[in-house]
Amino acid sequence: MNRYESIRQQVADYGKKLVHEGYLKGTGGNVSIRVPGEAALAITPSNRDYLTLTPDDICVYTFDQEKIAGDLKPSIEMGLHIAVYQNRPDVGCVMHTHQDFASALAILKKPLPALFDEQVRFLGRSVEIIPYAPSGTGMLAKQVRRMVNNHHNAYIMKNHGVLCMGPTAERAYHNVLLLEKAATAYLLALFSGQKVNTIPLSIREIAFQKLRSEQKKIKKQLDELNEKDA
Ligand SMILES: [Zn+2]
């Protein structure tokens, strides 16, 4: 299964990077990358130390959850990752973490308003709360499927953690960092007890349209590729 080698390497590398930067701890969280041109993904295995992961440990599965490569059990959140890829053709990588400050918002059930233009440009108009459902369940995947239709790239999962995505692994990783930075500033501002100011609505819309036009461009390119194949 050599053709999946580089994608599996990338999943393992980003898992380690998230641990080193403190966004993943122990065996919590998971990372996946869409296999280009196939209804399949490469995802971190269940319950494994990220620091010891090799490309062979990364599971490659179809969107019907049939195994293509890898002998370990895939992450229990695989259904949630698949729900994102099936509903968002612009997404090439999904990262689920339990990062500290955004997780605090998850237990406060506080969505993140539009605080910075860079935040809106890459994450969306706001960072909304995905209603609670237990880890690894179809119910949680269903909630995710419903939420990602707002075209945002970051979500807070109530009483759980966060879900970030992007067209590439590099951008999904950038979005994890951006979310944590905005969540930290927001929590500190809330602690002050003073009014939190958001960016002007007109600027929010301009920034969000940049994200949307990029997403539409990716979808158009994929549609053209699929037409060629058909
Ligand atoms: Zn989790």
Q: Are 84 and 138 in contact (CB under 8 A)?
A: no
Quickly tell me which residue has 């939420």 as its tokens: 147
Reduced 3-state DSSP string for 135-201: CCCHHHHHHHHHHHHHCCCEEEECCCEEEEEECCHHHHHHHHHHHHHHHHHHHHHHHHCCCCCCCCH
Going from the Cα of 125 to the center of ligand 1, the distance in angstroms, rounded, reads 24
Going from the Cα of 51 to the center of ligand 1, the distance in angstroms, rounded, reads 18
Q: How far apart are CA 102 and CA 176, in angstroms?
A: 10
What are the chain's domains? 2-229 (3.40.225.10)
Going from the Cα of 204 to the center of ligand 1, the distance in angstroms, rounded, reads 30
- Taking only the tens of pLDDT, the chain with its 230 residues reads 578 999 999 999 999 999 999 999 878 899 999 999 999 999 999 999 999 999 999 999 999 999 999 999 999 999 999 999 999 999 999 999 999 999 999 999 999 999 999 999 999 999 999 999 999 999 999 999 999 999 999 999 999 999 999 999 999 999 999 999 999 999 999 999 999 999 999 999 999 999 999 999 998 998 888 888 76
Going from the Cα of 103 to the center of ligand 1, the distance in angstroms, rounded, reads 10
Going from the Cα of 108 to the center of ligand 1, the distance in angstroms, rounded, reads 17
Going from the Cα of 96 to the center of ligand 1, the distance in angstroms, rounded, reads 6
Going from the Cα of 137 to the center of ligand 1, the distance in angstroms, rounded, reads 11
Q: How far apart are CA 40 and CA 230, in angstroms?
A: 19
